[in-house]
Chain A
Amino acid sequence: MKVGQKYVLDKQAFLAVLDSLRRGAKLIGPTAGPDGDVIFREVESTSEFTHDYVNEFDPIKRFFIPHRQDLFRFQLDKMPKFEPLVDTSPQILFGIRSCDVKGILHWDKFFTGVYADNYYLAKRANTTIISVACNRPLDTCFCICCDGGPWLESGFDLQLSDFGDRYLIDVGSAKGVALLAKVKKGLVAATRQDLEHRKELMATCDSQMVPTAYVAKAIIQITNRRVREELWDEMGYECFSCGGCTHVCPVCTCYDVADYMETPTSGVRFRCWDSCQYSGFTREASGHNPREKAKERIKRRFYHKLSYAYVKLDGHHGCVGCGRCITVCEAIGMLDLPAVVKRLRREGQPAPEEQGA
């Protein structure tokens, strides 16, 4: 048994293995929420899982990068003391979609760049990722435009494709191998028919996706500075600076760090979610703010998402096609990634009347 191999296993048998792991790790997966929408949360048993779900609107980011995370406790007396608060508790993340796995790969790059972020890396090392290839896209999904799904070749520990009563299982890592090793019986190698069946399911999934995002052209436009200032100005007026796009994006990692004093000489340094779309995000101690206006912040956001400088640095542009930004944007249909890509692609094009000249 090794990475890259594919197996088939009865669904209940696989879930039973997860239940057996429950004692040693937090088990997190999709459950039905109060309004019928899906909510990923910790469960006591896999029987709480729902198996027919669209991707959760809230990204799984909160299971790796908590909304608010205490980093270390400090005591500033004659002999200052610092007590790091690294969370190393194991967790199993079941049922996440391919686009979110792609997001995790972006975080891996971001948090192991110039400095290694021990808080993220500890969480990452203690998480087992079991994704389920997507079979129910929303009308906002566009992962096929971003190489983000609906199924992946790598990046997961295990990838499941739901065949109803069985799972097709792709093994993606040593962690995945170790997990499958706990299956006592019933695990059989996938046949060519199984792979064909998966291909059919994925083709059906692809065909249901509505938005398009021809990102390559937008990358060229933005990288070569062929975007008029007037367009960014207009977007600046449209933007509500609510920060929703960065909050729900499975790629974005905006955060702030601050201290919470518990006594005059002791407290906690914490990290919390922030947004590059807030003016406070870049304000300096002097009061100077390089990105005071919404226009500048939007420009920065899409430069970070789409410019070749970051594609080169990160190995991919900054979008996985989950479509959450389409729903969350208060500027309805104007500033989500597919909409902006469409607007950027139009830049520099001669107007229709001029083409005939």
Chain B
Amino acid sequence: MSKVLTTCPSCGCGCGVFLVVENERVVGVAPQRKHPVSRGTLCVKGWNGHQIIHHPERLRKPLVKKNGTFHEVSWESALGEVAKGLRRHEPSHIGVVGSTKFTNEDAYLLMKLARGVLGTDNLDTSARFYQAPTLHAMSAQLGVAAATASLTDIEQADVLLVVGSNAKEQTAKAGSYLIWATHHGKKLVVVDPRETELSHFATLHLKPKPGTDVVWLNALCSWLIRGTRQVAEARGVNSLAKALESYTLANAAQLCGISQEELERLGVMVSEAQRLLILYGEGLTQHASGTEAIKAVVNLAALTGSLGKSGAGIIPLHLTNNTQGVFDVGLAPAFLPGFARVGDDQARSTLSEVMGCPLPEKAGLTLGEMLHGAGEQIKAMYVVGENLVWSAPNCAAAKAALERLDFLVVQDLFLTETAQLAHVVLPACSFAEKDGTFTSAERRVQRVRAAIPPVGEAKPDWQIFVALARKLGASLSYRSAEQVFKEFVSVNPWYKGITYGALDVPGGVQWPVGQSLPSVRDAKLLAPQFLPPSEQPTADYPFTLVIGRGRVHRASGTSVSRSFTLAKEYPEGILEVNTDDAKELGLRSGWRARVTTPRGSIERTVVVTRGIPPKVVFASIHHKDGLTNLLANDSLERDSRIPEMKVCAARVEVA
């Protein structure tokens, strides 16, 4: 029995964990006592998520589909098929989809393969479904799309504003610090239409109509600027004040469905705060106003002087372990490493020189756009570590889109519903079988260490990319993950000074090293616009459906369904219905209800509660009794092109 120190892949908190290994099997885990953030704790996902590693359904050999049936083949043969299939298409017709769960090294080489070898900027990850507004808004306003604070800053902050995140369940370590804070005199403001366990501890709980956050945020900023207290010096305060003139607390209260008194109370709390820390999740980003809402958050942080100060700032609470890493790598159309833009000739030229190959000059399609354009604009796709058939909104349409492709390659741990549609399937290693790094939601770069040999013939993703590049006639020569990391560091100024050796301390290293993050003076204030949800309740669909996750979920639910213990924790999907609505519909807790949207219909078990507003229902993602994302709206938001998958209009009836 031995123990290997690595980083937990369950969410963006980046907890330290030991894998307990016996006879080349990961049999258990133990928390790392000396870790500076997790400090000897793990959440339910951390304790049990490792069970997927040895699941009997692990893919062990490459598969090629012939006459509709998969056949096991050698790696040489499989990669030959992949190269042949991709070569048949123009670069602009190829889409590459990466994972937010693989390592920085995997992400970097996939970025290099797509741009440098295949010549396509149609390159994205499922971060597009969750936090794309963060990437777009923060990079424009701060030059950095990342948390400006750490989780331990929660201990120093005096006011904590949590928007659109069920932090206690989704990012438990953040929730842990937040609850600690409320027991130690800090003020916690929770903004969420639903009551959650975290809201129980809130000093103030605001319940705006889903999708209206940018309105109360703008009103708050406007109120701060016009208030007696001097706002911090930031570029563009005057033009922002002018642009936000029409946003008043009274108007916001009415439009958002919260009381003006509560908004004023929030305003006083925020204006009097010495250290304001803002944390947010997908409840803020997955809307038509998603990018606008993040602009408003940056404005609020700047106006309150919360940037460049310890105990204050912004933290996007990433659901997955390497969302930050894939942003840092530039695994997104239009973005290069270090948040440079594809259209920036200088940045592109520098990267091209280091990578040793030309790069596309125009921004490509986002994930949502690739799916919408499948069969026409996009004819071939290479999907790595993402079960799109479950994770995409309107998953029936996503499935149909993938079926329209001429050629689909899927690289994953399991024969997922997406892999089943593929022409070639490649077996990949889990985090326990490869070396690399993850970057947490608070910019902490930490080592991932292989604890066991690869299961079957699975290979680390980055090695597959290298082998495929060779098949495509390019020479990517990397002998180790460390060598890949070194090259990545050389093209991302924010990672300067970070080496594998430097990461050999508990908690790794937070970037940047020896530089400062943007402060108030560096912030550019932009005037956010309110864009209402594209789908509003109607007579046929009178409810607003909010889609979210339970305690054991990570992203699409693909992992939880294959963990013996986690699957037990979530035996069925639920539908939260307001008490009065339930009475009107004739529903009771424990009964089955049918939820229908313009995209489909599923059944869920009802939980009647006063913790959800009237005419709003909440459905958790689940797979055994119907994919919740089947119901989700796949309309793409204007700027970041994130789907509006948090809310949609729905009908509820007794099943």
Contacts and interface: CB of A to CB of B under 8 A. Distances in A.
A35 B449 CA distance: 14
B583 interface: no
Contacts of B18: 33, 39, 58
Given A240-B168, A242-B172, A279-B569, A332 B28 contact: no
B176 A287 contact: no
Interface string B524-568: 000000000000000000000000000100000000000011001
Interface size of B as a range: 35 or more
Interface stretch (A62-70, A96-104, A168-176, A308-316): A62-70
Interface stretch (A224-232, A323-331, A343-351): A323-331
A243 interface: yes
B85 interface: no
Nearest to B507: A35
A331 B569 CA distance: 20
Interface stretch (B33-41, B461-469, B477-485): B33-41
B591 interface: no
Given A67-B20, A240-B175, A278 B40 contact: no
A113 interface: no
A330 B41 contact: yes
A241 B30 contact: no
B493 interface: no
B183 A327 contact: no
B265 interface: no
Contacts of A280: 565, 568-569, 571
Contacts of A287: 571
A240 B564 contact: no
B40 A328 contact: yes
B201 A237 contact: yes
B3 interface: yes
B2 interface: yes
Contacts, number: 117
B47 A247 contact: yes
Nearest to A262: B56
B34 A273 contact: no
B22 interface: yes
Interface string A32-44: 0111110101100
Interface in A51-76: 57-58, 62-63, 66-68
Nearest to B32: A35
A239 to B, nearest CB: 9
A214 interface: no
A102 B464 CA distance: 51
A327 B28 contact: no
Interface size of A as a range: 35 or more
Contacts of B175: 240, 330
A68 B20 CA distance: 11
Contacts of B61: none
Contact of B176 (A62, A63, A331): A331
B29 to A, nearest CB: 9
Given A58-B18, A278-B565, A243 B200 contact: no
B43 interface: yes
Nearest to A287: B571
Contacts of B43: 240, 242, 330
Given A62-B1, A242-B43, A57 B179 contact: no
B571 A333 contact: no
A31 to B, nearest CB: 10
B573 to A, nearest CB: 14
Interface in A10-38: 33-37
A72 B34 CA distance: 38
A194 interface: no
A242 B47 contact: yes
Interface in B272-327: none
Given A36-B34, A62-B28, A41 B571 contact: no
In the complex, the 3 A-B pairs of residues with the closest C-beta atoms, listed nearest first: A280-B568, A67-B28, A58-B30
Given A35-B5, A240-B43, 11 more contacts: A34-B5, A57-B40, A238-B179, A242-B44, A244-B31, A272-B565, A273-B28, A275-B47, A283-B571, A328-B41, A334-B183
Interface of B: 1-3, 5, 16, 18, 20, 22, 27-28, 30-34, 39-44, 46-48, 56, 168, 172-173, 175-177, 179-180, 183, 197, 200-201, 504-506, 551, 564-565, 568-569, 571
Interface of A: 33-37, 39, 41-42, 57-58, 62-63, 66-68, 237-238, 240-244, 247-248, 256, 258, 260, 272-275, 278-280, 283, 287, 327-334
14 contacts: A33-B5, A42-B2, A58-B20, A67-B27, A280-B571, A327-B39, A327-B40, A327-B41, A328-B40, A330-B43, A332-B176, A332-B179, A334-B179, A334-B183
